[in-house]
A = this chain, B = another copy of it.
Amino acid sequence: MKKIAIDAMGGDNAPKAIIEGVNQALDDFSDIEIQLYGDREKITPYLTHTKRVTISHTIEKIDSEDEPVKAIRKKKQASMVLATQAVKEGRADAVLSAGNTGALLASGLFVVGRIKNIDRPGLMSTIPTMDGKGFDMLDLGANAENTAKHLHQFAVLGSFYAKNVRGITSPRVGLLNNGTEDTKGDTLRKETFERLSNDASLNFIGNVEARDLLAGVCDVVVADGFTGNAVLKSIEGTAISIMGQLKKTIQDGGFSTKLGALLLKGSLSQLKESLDYSSAGGAVLFGLKAPVIKCHGSSDAKAIYNAIKQVSLMLESGLMDQLTNEFSKESESND
């Protein structure tokens, strides 16, 4: 039985969306057990299951405006903190929250803890591509500054994930850079390029440009946290702006425009679907001793369901043990 600890109070639509996602996951996956942390009175009205689910009652919670590190230190009874504690103490195998990102990163780092020899966990998401296959990118902003060694570890982490969870035999790893030529980039990129080229365990395909990511140029994209964050937000912002503009021109248009939009409805929702991040699950704070999953603050039941499915896959694949083994091999000479 896979035990998943869930912060029932995190996110804009909590606890309703969280619990509805949990209900659906309990329906579909018979080998999971859910531990809910949060306000029992607010949770029970939505919960349809009684088996394989427990509620650990707490009224304290971390708000989106809370200063992350301070919050996890002061709010020791917060739903998010209790959920990560359950992982630390071995009562749960993984933790999931749609709450304050910074606080979850801090809880992951300080409460769950890093895999030995991993210097910095990276935030990783599977980002949808136009061909429906998607790519994994990390770091998406867990770190403001990174070294080449961190980026090398991100490449290894991402490869393991793509292989184990997404079933890609030999994941193509690309280094996000300002050009595709081997010699491109700043000192960090040049040093990372060298490291990735020399790691025979990786299928490193070289430098990739942000322009080609959505066309599916590779399966794993390695970036420092600052750039990865900027690229992810650029993709999101552009997609939202274009879809919004399209909606607006249709609304402002006359009868024939509206009729056209009606006839195109299927195609447009298909497009919207292919841009839908929620179907790929949540972002993984990757490099910790157990899966720590951050769902988007605006997650609906479907997004929560998919994130639980993702955690379940991660636990099933033996990924965490493999990573622990892989990094335990790391000798000091690699530093």
Contact = CB atoms under 8 A, between A and B. Distances in A.
Copies of this chain, complex-wide, total: 2
Interface stretch (A89-97, A106-114, A211-219): A211-219
A196 B229 CA distance: 22
Interface stretch (A7-15, A262-270, A306-314): A262-270
A233 interface: yes
A52 B230 CA distance: 46
Most buried by B among A186, A233, A259: A233
Give the interface residue-count category, chain A.
Answer: 35 or more
A244 interface: yes
Most buried by B among A187, A242, A256, A265: A242
Given A260-B264, A271-B246, A214 B231 contact: no
B238 A239 contact: yes
Contacts of A243: 242
Given A130-B245, A271-B242, A233 B209 contact: yes
A209 B236 CA distance: 11
A301 to B, nearest CB: 24
A95 B54 CA distance: 71
Contacts of A233: 209-211
Contact of A260 (B186, B187, B238, B262): B262
Given A178-B230, A230-B176, A267-B249, A237 B261 contact: no
Question: What are the 5 A-B residue pairs with the smallest beta carbon separation, nearest first?
Answer: A260-B263, A234-B234, A260-B264, A211-B237, A249-B267
